[in-house]
A and B are shown apart, each in its own frame.
Chain A
Amino acid sequence: MKSRNWLLRTASLLVLVALWWIAALIADSFVLPSPQEVLLSFWLHTLSGELPYHLAATLGRVAVSFLLAMSIGVAIGIFMGRHRRLDIALDGALVLGLNIPALVTIVLCYIWFGLTDVAAVIAVALNKIPTVIVTVREGARAVDKRLLEVAQAYRLTRLHTLRKIYLPQLYPYLMAAARSGLALIWKIVLVVELLGRSNGVGFQLHTYYQFFDITSILAYTLAFAGVVLLIEAALMRPVENRLTRWRQ
């Protein structure tokens, strides 16, 4: 069953590449390079060391802002889910946070904190935190009080109550927040780099855009897509399978 899942995943990716190839053949234009051209470009950029350097810069920003957004969002989400008054008090700010355009936060952070990595990471995290809060708050509201009563009656330590009773109920929500979080953060990090950093994939895309170098743009996109797929397959799915194996 597992190997067949893999087969299906790979096959669907191959179909995408094939469609791209056919489209490139038909279009026969420099604005839509073929898969081999992009692969070659990817290889050259990798050999020169330029692509790994910029990709690493982007990955670093993604990792830091992801951890920042998740830890702050989860903490606030749990508190808002548990305490009704706090929930009401913060709800307005939350709705505002959800709806402020990413561009506004980014520009303001650069103006207030300067064109630095700190400002960049804060801007990305600020964009992500509200959606984490919304998801985790939902989970905290759904926590089964009857199971917490078991913890209380048996005088479990706080640590064990958290680890064995509270968090397992939140895991599905944490996984959802992490998944959608990562997807959003990738996108915003690139914008942040485009607007105010001198390295990273976003910065490079901006440069190639000015030169109309579409092959390089797609080569970077390819590298990027590879990393995303790798994180999903090597990290997200295994963790999720482990956390939800009792449901199977």
Chain B
Amino acid sequence: MTGLEVRIDEKRFNGKVVLRGLEFTARPGEFLALVGPSGTGKSTLLNLISGLDHNFTGSVSWDGETLYMPGESPSQLGMMFQEPRLMPWLSTLDNVRLVSQSRDASVVRNESQVTARAVELLREVGLGDNLNTWPGQLSGGMQRRAALARAFMVSPRLLLLDEPFVSLDMPTGNRLRESLLALCQRQRPLVLYVTHDLREALAVADRVLFLSGPPARVILDYRVELAHPRQLEGPAVAQLQQTLSAQYPDLLSGLIEISLSSEGDSPQH
């Protein structure tokens, strides 16, 4: 089949089982949110799917091909880690350009095309005025925008996002989610969006996978039928959240958390 097929029989971390019997499939272009309590191995799961960690039993296949070679990630993978992970010695523009130097022939373009595309993406996420800024001079929110632009630089077919907008204040988070959805709308990658915030999941995803506490597995696969655009603080999302809480009281207890605001969007110096 095309798309993603995940079947994790068991994954241990420091001897402890963190994932067991975790299975799901997703079609190209689908937007999935993975929701679960903090510390349930959601990041670990993304590492398995991205090929960064291949030390588990089970299989991950992408377009019908089982897991990549050890140390290999799937081609045209876009990834946003929990931290922006920009190279502090490269300018914002060079950070985005960097990932075009991939082993995949499909993304190699000539220098000026690469630059043009990187500039376009950075403008799109609102960093048009910061092309030559060092990442250290950007605010937390701006660094995440740069990481978002970088993820789209490879024209991703698979996009893995690990709590990408966590600990941003509400307006900043909203703007970034809008940028993300606009970019996804155009390029249609298969998205796995990890979050511990159910409302955030309901605001962005087509499907929400609920993970149990450790060892984690999928305990509910819920299709979100809300029309876009959705407002994170809007009544529709709040109502759906209430409905779900009423419908599955045990399932969701402890899952609903309000995202904490700490980082602003103004430059730090």
Indicate the member of A152, A154, A243 with the most B CB atoms within 10 Å: A154
Rounded to whole angstroms, the CA-CA distance of A152 and B71 in the bound complex is 7
Q: Assess whether A168 is in contact with B75, with CB atoms less than 8 Å apart.
A: no
List A contacts of B99 (CB < 8 A).
154, 156
| Shortest distance between the CB of B139 and any CB in chain A (Å) | 17
* CB-based contact A155/B73 at 8 Å: yes
Chain A contact surface mostly: helix
For residue B136, CB closer than 8 A to chain A, the reply is yes
Contact check, A168 vs B89: say whether CB atoms are below 8 A apart: yes
Q: Quick check: B98 and A160 within 8 Å, CB to CB?
A: yes
Does any Cβ of A come within 8 Å of B85's Cβ?
A: yes
A153-B87 in contact (CB<8A)? no
Within the complex, what minimum Cβ distance (angstroms) separates B159 from chain A? 11
Q: Which of B19-48 touch A at CB < 8 Å?
A: none
Residue of A nearest to B72 (CB): A155
Q: How many residues of B contact A (CB 8 A)?
A: 26
In the assembled complex, B233 has its CB within 8 A of some CB on chain A: no
Chain B: minimal CB distance from A173 (Å): 14
- Chain B interface secondary structure, helix, strand, loop or mixed? loop
**Partner of B85 from A147, A155, A168, A247 at Cβ < 8 Å:** A147
Residue A146 interfacial (CB < 8 Å): yes
Which one, B76-84, B222-230, B244-252, is touching chain A?
A: B76-84
B52 within 8 A of A: yes
Cα-based distance from A246 to B92 in the complex (angstroms): 11
Q: Is the CB of B77 within 8 A of A153?
A: yes
Q: Are A157 and B102 in contact, CB atoms less than 8 angstroms apart?
A: yes
Q: How large is the interface on A (under 10, 10 to 19, 20 to 34, 35 or more residues)?
A: 10 to 19
Number of cross-chain contacts by CB at 8 Å = 61
Note all chain B residues with C-beta closer than 8 A to A164: 87, 90, 98, 101
A150 at the interface (CB under 8 A from B): yes
Question: How far, in angstroms, from A154 to B152 measured CA to CA in the complex?
Answer: 11
Q: Which residues of B contact A157 (CB under 8 A)?
A: 101-103
A186 to B207, CA, bound (A): 68
Q: Determine whether A165 belongs to the interface, using a CB cutoff of 8 Å to chain B.
A: yes
Contact of B104 among A149, A155, A168, A247 (CB under 8 A): A155
- The docked-state distance in angstroms from the alpha carbon of A241 to that of B75 is 37
Given contacts A146-B83, A153-B50, A164-B98, contact A246 B77 (CB under 8 A): no
Q: How far is the CA of A154 from the CA of B51 in the complex (A)?
A: 11
A167 to chain B, nearest CB (A): 10
A interface footprint on B152-196 (CB within 8 Å = 1, 0 otherwise): 001000000000000000000000000000000000000000000
Residues on A with beta carbons closer than 8 Å to the beta carbon of B104: 155
How many angstroms between the C-alpha atoms of A157 and B77 in the bound complex?
15
A169 → B minimal CB distance (Å) = 8
Which residues of A, 120-149, contact B by the 8 Å Cβ criterion? 146-147, 149
A246 contacts B98, CB within 8 Å?
no
Our pick among A149, A154, A246 for the contact of B88 (Cβ within 8 Å) is: A246
Task: Name the 7 nearest CB pairs between A and B, nearest first.
Answer: A154-B99, A160-B101, A153-B79, A168-B89, A155-B102, A246-B134, A246-B89
| 7 other A-B residue contacts (CB within 8 Å) besides A155-B102, A165-B87 | A147-B85, A147-B87, A149-B81, A152-B51, A153-B77, A154-B150, A246-B136
Can you identify 5 A-B contacts, CB atoms within 8 angstroms?
A146-B83, A150-B79, A152-B71, A155-B104, A246-B134
